[in-house]
Amino acid sequence: MTDVSLGPDCSSWNDSPLLAMLLFNKGNETSVSVKHHTPLTFGLTVEYGLTPSLSLESGLTYSRLTSDVREGGDKYYYTGEQKLHYIGIPLNLKYTVLSWKALDLYASAGVRVQKCVSGEVDKRYVIEDVMKSTETERLHVKPLQWSLSGAVGVQWNISRFLGLYAEPGVGYWFDDGSSLQTIYKEKPLNFNLNIGLRLNVGR
């Protein structure tokens, strides 16, 4: 490690905040904590009817994962927010259990693949309870994120081609093999509730 001379104005803290934090914490106990928030997901789903009861659906999803991070000691540390943006393609098989007037009760199961298209951590470096420097670290995640899902739902068919649905379900996310800490790794099995519009074709 290159030695850094810290002047009274801590100018080198601004020049190299991470290196300065490591020097300040030399010989002291440090820790890393990460608090993940519930992912936010939007999507467009298209359903293709294979039979009156069975259909195949796919589309495009966008997911935003945020986490609060803290690393360092008691007096010298950084805090920040990690933000990850994923684009995904789901493929589900949907079976309609019951239809009554404009309402459908159904079950579905499938797989989804996601790609992290961008990510960053906004860091705030603190020395003796005073914020000294800020920086943004870009994150690059190459592996794909795979997951399995199952759900039951109810859909109100606004028209023959468009439906409004509410869909509680469960998902399991596989480890993508990267070193990045996400809610997918901390809690691979998660319950969720999806609400949205579904475009129906092939009926």
CA separation (Å) from 35 to 65, 157, 187? 11, 39, 12
Q: With 90 as the cut, is the pLDDT of residue 28 above it? A: no
**Band (174; pLDDT cuts 50, 70, 90):** very high
Domain extent, residue 25, equals 11-201
* Stated pTM of the model: 0.79
Has residue 2 been placed in a domain?
no
Number of domains present in the structure of the chain: 1
pLDDT bracket for residue 2 (50, 70, 90): very low
**Separation of alpha carbons 106 and 57, rounded Å:** 13
Stretch 135-149: mean pLDDT: 91
The rounded distance, in Å, linking the Cα atoms of 146 and 124 is 32
Contact 57, 199 (CB under 8 A): no
Across the strands, what pairs with 24?
none
171 domain-assigned: yes
Banded model confidence at residue 172, pLDDT cuts 50, 70, 90? very high
Query: Residue 87 phi/psi, 5° resolution?
Result: -110, 130
Radius of gyration over alpha carbons of the chain, in Å? 23
Q: What whole-number distance in Å separates Cα of residue 89 and Cα of residue 30? A: 40
- Per DSSP, which regions of the chain are E strands? 31-36, 40-49, 54-72, 76-100, 103-127, 130-139, 145-157, 162-173, 189-201
User: What confidence tens digit (pLDDT) does each residue in 42-73 have?
Assistant: 888 888 989 989 999 999 989 999 999 988 87
In a domain, 4, yes or no: no
Q: Is residue 94 part of a domain?
A: yes
Place of tokens 């609400």: 195
Mean model confidence pLDDT for the chain: 85
In CATH, what number is assigned to the domain containing residue 194? Answer: 2.40.160
**pLDDT value of position 75:** 76
